[in-house]
Amino acid sequence: MAIVLPLFLFLSFGIIETANAMRLYMSMVYAAEDAARYASLHGSGASVPATSDSIAAQVRDFPGLSNATVTTLWTATENAEACRVPDDASGSDWATSPTGRNDPGSLVCVWVERTYRFMTPIIPDLDLKAHMERVVTGA
């Protein structure tokens, strides 16, 4: 019993923690998809065009994502390679792409990042990242 109980508790908490991390990650993916859809429908010619702040607000409305980091990039091309995740935190890979152009036909890329803190102290924090891209169609 003294050996079985700790193993059972460790396994149980591991399953719960993994499920919570997956739930948060799926929320991040859905929020990035929703924000990219919002940005694609609210192009530069819309009555209320999308901005980086309005897209971040779309993401932060989702449960558990109020403190998520949201990065938005518009590119003048439909090439999905332009939406690659940067190599470092400075975002230096984005510097060559034109930003702020949400004209129809351009590509909008939305990244959502958040750190998941496990309840059990022996597991280190997990950095979760999700991104989505869509072509701007709204005028």
Total domains in the chain come to 1
Q: Model confidence over 77-105: pLDDT tens digits?
A: 666 566 765 555 544 444 344 455 778 88
| Residue 109 three-state SS | strand
- Amino acid 44: pLDDT: 82
| Residue 48: domain span | 4-135
**Contact present, 135 and 39 (Cβ < 8 Å):** no
**Contact present, 112 and 65 (Cβ < 8 Å):** yes
**Contact present, 28 and 66 (Cβ < 8 Å):** no
pTM: 0.80
Q: Region 8-37: what's the mean pLDDT?
A: 94
Q: Using 50, 70 and 90 to split pLDDT, how confident is the model at 8?
A: very high
Residues in the chain: 139
- Amino acid 1: pLDDT: 77
Q: Model confidence over 42-59: pLDDT tens digits?
A: 988 888 888 889 999 999
